[in-house]
């Protein structure tokens, strides 16, 4: 018998005796899942994401302030590039990593600095030495201030965590209300051929492991900038 | 008395008298409580969300065979090798086998309680491999050769000065009192390790049946790097971590973040569904998922306590537990401490050896109230006590209850016992809390409740 059959057999044997459904101390409660309920009902229990676009931007902004994400919502693509140039000057960037997607590669190229494109193959040490990684994303989540990236939308697994500063460029139609909407979009976009990684990034890398005091940049980026137009 | 009880009592005696230690833990937990309450208040309806989480986990656990098979099939369809480990030894053997076959030397690891459970680091180090924990808290306790203090906050028992001293000694770093500086020392030390490691090992917070993915929750980005750079990735995951659908995470990720650390959402929640796929530019060439039973199926076979497998390891029950707050995490001597540890350890490691943990409870129910998936924790502690007593009845307890029953059924004898008790009480006062006091186990730390002046019967007769 294989390990699989052995364990599944043990599980089936254990489950022959039913367990009381959850509720207060074994009292019966109707069994439906979070999904089984109408979406608007289940959503109502969670932290709010905002009903209108303006509310959602305000939510994303408020979450960003708390998370110490640098969120800039601007009017046009050109303004995204000029914001990026301003950050380059204050931070003194010398090298940039990005990937071959229209918006992020155009934004990175506009900086006029040496470039690495991760999806053309890269050297880990060279990527680690870059001052900034500029990537696209799948969606922005208003409810939590989250950026959703995948291998395919953000130039692989390492680009969004290895350089000390991660810049996300996004368009306004990528902003969604909440996590439920974000998962729905990801499922719709990729169908059965998911990228091997889907990451929900909420703020720059952080730790509280020393006396519960917040420190940014534990292992991943110390700074996260979201530029959206 | 077994040694586990003696260890527990001895260690508890030390920690409860260490006011500095207790102060440190309680300050940290007060900070947690404030943040958690603020985040809970942001929910539209926390109680309904809890109920939905409990029901979703009930569905997952009570159809575990179906979901687990679906998970494994989906994972394998995209090139992941799924291994099934019946016990800790199997899991160690599987993982060491992979490491050996890859000719690996160095291993980078992100936080995994399952790895603690099977003592994976010891096994890998004994086999001659270099293993580095990458989560900051885990890195610190690894340098101290200690197990994690808490399932979510592994180094919460240490001050910045303790950590500074440790880093100076072990890493040769310059002295500093700044948490930021200390974090950067660890960051620099670990960066090199990610880049040179041959193998990355992670745990998992959830395993999604629908899509064949595991989900890892972390704040630091260390698991992201562990899953990005080494050529081979291994995930060790308990079979109970199953969730039916991907979108269930829209419920569970915020609940885990809120209950676990008082956050809206944890910094990185990442789902992995396989090794590097065609057309992808990085990620491991090989991905192995090791599914661990290790007596979880025995807990599953107990329908009364099956819901203990709903646990998402958020640590909320530890954080509110008056016992945990005062005896501390290491006193338990178990991988999983606090209320949930006291409930499951007897199932995972033997009821008679670990039944004392179910006794070290005030039964206040704070744990049950805090649990985001509504595990009936404090009732399970009572059930463990009952099961332990039924399994191996205590001779003296049985004798005492027989005697009590005998006396209370005979009014004359009862009256005599009452008078005798009053006399004994006066005599006992003379020897209270001295070595000859037979009630010393009680009187050393508590007052003996005084017998009332009058019994009810006497009071009633006086008024009639």
Rounded to two decimals, the ipTM of the complex is: 0.94
Cβ neighbours of residue B395 under 8 Å, at least 6 residues apart? none
Please determine, for residue A28, whether its predicted confidence score (pLDDT) is greater than 50: no
The confidence band for A84, taking pLDDT boundaries of 50, 70 and 90, is very high
pLDDT confidence of residue B450: 86
Closest Cα in chain B, distance from residue A80 (Å) = 25
Above pLDDT 70, what percent of chain A? Answer: 92
pLDDT for the residue A38: 67
The one-character DSSP state at B447 is P
pLDDT given at position B86: 97
The residue of chain A with its CA nearest to that of B277 is A196
What distances in angstroms separate CA A226 from CA A38, A112, A203, B79, one per listed residue?
32, 20, 10, 34
Nearest C-alpha neighbor of B74 from the set B233, B218, B211: B211
pLDDT band at residue B125 under the 50/70/90 scheme: very high
- Rounded to the nearest integer, the mean pLDDT of chain B is 95
Mutation target vs B (from A207, A214, A221; most B CBs, 10 A cutoff): A207
Q: Considering only residues 106 to 165 of chain A, which have any Cβ-Cβ distance to chain B shorter than 8 Å?
A: 118-122, 124-125, 128, 143-146, 151-152, 155-158, 160-162
CA dihedral A139, A144, A147, A148 (to 10 degrees): -60
The region, left, alpha or beta by phi > 0 then psi within -120 to 50, assigned to residue A117 is: beta
CB nearest to A15's CB, from B64, B182, B246: B64
The span from the CA of A42 to the CA of A178, in Å, is: 12
Question: Chain A closest CA to B79's CA: distance in Å?
Answer: 10
3-state DSSP assignment of residue B419: helix
Residue A8 CA to residue A54 CA, distance in Å, equals 50
Going by C-alpha positions, the residue among B309, B393, B290 that lies closest to residue B347 is B309
Q: Does A176 touch chain B (CB under 8 A)?
A: no
Find the residue in B nearest to A191 (Cα). Answer: B211
**Residues B107, B99: contact at Cβ < 8 Å?**
yes
B183, A144: Cβ pair inside 8 Å? no
The per-residue DSSP string of chain A comes to: --HHHHHHHHHHHHTTSPPPPSSSTT-------TTTS-HHHHHHHSPP--SSHHHHHHHHHHHHHHHT-EEEE-SSHHHHHHHHHHHHHHHT---EEE-SSHHHHHHHHTT-S-EEEGGG---HHHHHH-SEEEE--SEEETTTTEEEEETTTTTSSSTTTSSSEEEEEE-GGGEESSHHHHHHHHHHHHTT---SEEEEE-SS-EE-TTTT--EE-SSS-SEEEEEE-
Rounded to whole angstroms, how far apart are CA atoms B201 and B115?
A: 9
Positions of E strands within B203-316: 206-208, 213-218, 232-238, 242-243, 268-272, 286-292
pTM confidence score: 0.93
How many interface pairs between A and B have CB atoms less than 8 angstroms apart? Answer: 308
CA B392 to chain centre: 26
> How many angstroms separate the Cα of B321 from the Cα of each of B38, B234, B365, B366, B369?
20, 34, 9, 7, 11
Q: What is the pLDDT of residue A26?
A: 44
A window 79-98, beta carbon within 8 A of B: none
Listed range (A6-10, B2-6, B328-332, B356-360) with the worst mean pLDDT: B2-6
Among the listed residues B198, B202, B213, the one whose alpha carbon sits nearest the alpha carbon of residue B285: B198
Tell the residue number behind the tokens 């833990």, with chain if given: B25
Read off the pLDDT of each residue in B149-178 and give the average, rounded to a whole number: 95
Task: Categorise residue A88: left if φ over 0, alpha if ψ from -120 to 50, beta otherwise.
Answer: alpha
Chain A, nearest residue to B141 by Cα = A209
Percent of chain B with pLDDT over 90: 89
Is the predicted pLDDT of residue A33 greater than 70, yes or no? no
pLDDT one-digit tens code per residue, A121-179? 999 999 999 999 999 999 999 999 999 999 999 999 999 999 999 999 999 999 999 99
Res A21: pLDDT: 81
Count of alpha carbons within 13 Å of B292, Cβ hemisphere only? 27
Tokens representing B53 are 């989480």
Share of chain A above pLDDT 90, in %: 86
Contacts of A37 in chain B (CB under 8 A): 52
CB-nearest partner of B221 from A34, A43, A220? A220
pLDDT at residue B356 tops 90: yes
Backbone phi, psi, residue B287, to 5°? -130, 125
């Amino acid at each position: 018998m294989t390990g699989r059959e052995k364990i599944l057999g043990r599980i089936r044997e254990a489950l022959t005796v039913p367990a009381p459904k959850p509720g207060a101390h074994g009292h019966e409660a109707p069994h439906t899942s979070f999904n089984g309920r109408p979406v608007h009902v289940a959503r109502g229990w969670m932290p709010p994401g905002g009903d209108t676009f303006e509310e959602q931007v305000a939510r994303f902004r408020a979450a960003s302030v708390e998370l110490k994400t640098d969120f800039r919502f601007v009017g046009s693509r050109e303004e995204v590039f000029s914001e990026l140039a301003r950050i380059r000057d204050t931070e003194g960037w010398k090298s940039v990593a990005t990937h071959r997607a229209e918006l992020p590669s155009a934004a990175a190229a506009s900086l006029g600095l040496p470039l690495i494109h991760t999806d053309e193959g890269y050297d880990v040490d060279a990527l680690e030495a870059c001052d900034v990684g500029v990537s696209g994303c799948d969606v922005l989540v208003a409810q939590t201030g989250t950026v959703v990236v995948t291998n395919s939308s953000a130039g692989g697994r390492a680009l969004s965590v290895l350089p000390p500063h991660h810049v996300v460029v996004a368009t306004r139609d990528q902003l969604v209300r909440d996590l439920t909407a974000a998962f729905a979009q990801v499922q719709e976009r990729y169908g059965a051929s998911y990228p091997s990684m889907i990451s929900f990034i909420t703020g720059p890398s952080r730790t509280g492991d020393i006396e519960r005091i917040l420190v940014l940049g534990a292992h991943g980026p110390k700074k996260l900038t979201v530029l959206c137009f | 008395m077994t040694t586990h009880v003696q260890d527990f009592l001895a260690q508890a005696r030390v920690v409860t008298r260490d006011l500095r230690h207790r102060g440190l833990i309680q300050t940290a937990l007060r900070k947690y409580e404030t943040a958690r309450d603020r985040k809970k208040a942001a929910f539209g309806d926390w109680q309904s969300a809890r109920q939905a989480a409990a029901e979703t986990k009930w569905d997952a656990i009570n159809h575990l065979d179906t979901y687990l098979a679906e998970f494994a099939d989906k994972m394998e369809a995209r090139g992941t090798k799924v291994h099934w480990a019946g016990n800790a030894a199997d899991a160690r053997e599987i993982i060491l086998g992979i490491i050996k076959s890859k000719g690996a030397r160095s291993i980078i690891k992100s936080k995994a309680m399952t790895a603690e459970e099977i003592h994976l680091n010891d096994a890998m180090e004994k086999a001659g491999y270099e293993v580095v924990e990458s989560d900051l808290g885990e890195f610190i306790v690894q340098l101290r050769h200690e197990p994690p203090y808490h399932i979510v906050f592994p180094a919460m028992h240490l001050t910045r000065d303790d950590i500074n001293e440790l880093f100076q000694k072990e890493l040769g770093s310059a002295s500093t009192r700044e948490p930021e500086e200390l974090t950067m020392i660890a960051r620099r030390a670990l960066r090199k390790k990610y880049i040179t490691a041959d193998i990355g090992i992670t745990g998992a917070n959830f395993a999604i049946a629908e899509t064949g993915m595991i989900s890892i929750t972390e704040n630091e980005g260390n698991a992201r790097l562990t899953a990005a750079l080494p050529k081979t990735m291994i995930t060790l995951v308990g079979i109970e971590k199953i969730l039916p659908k991907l979108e269930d995470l829209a419920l569970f990720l915020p609940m885990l973040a809120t209950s676990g650390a008082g956050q809206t959402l944890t910094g990185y929640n990442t789902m992995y569904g396989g090794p590097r796929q065609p057309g992808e530019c990085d990620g491991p060439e090989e991905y192995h998922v090791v599914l661990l039973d290790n007596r979880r199926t025995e807990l599953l076979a107990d329908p009364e306590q099956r819901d203990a497998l709903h646990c998402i390891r958020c640590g909320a029950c530890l954080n509110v537990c008056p016992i945990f707050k005062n005896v501390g995490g290491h006193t338990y001597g178990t991988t999983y401490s606090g209320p949930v540890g006291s409930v499951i350890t007897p199932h995972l490691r033997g009821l008679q050896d670990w039944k004392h943990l179910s006794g070290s409870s005030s039964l206040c129910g704070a744990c049950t109230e805090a649990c985001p998936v509504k595990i009936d924790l404090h009732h399970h502690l009572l059930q463990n006590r009952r099961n332990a007593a039924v399994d191996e009845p205590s001779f003296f307890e049985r004798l005492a209850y027989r005697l009590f029953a005998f006396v209370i059924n005979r009014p004359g004898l009862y009256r005599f016992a009452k008078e005798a008790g009053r006399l004994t009480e006066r005599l006992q006062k003379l020897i209270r809390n001295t070595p000859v006091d037979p009630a010393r186990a009680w009187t050393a730390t508590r007052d003996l409740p005084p017998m009332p002046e009058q019994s009810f019967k006497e009071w009633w007769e006086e008024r009639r």
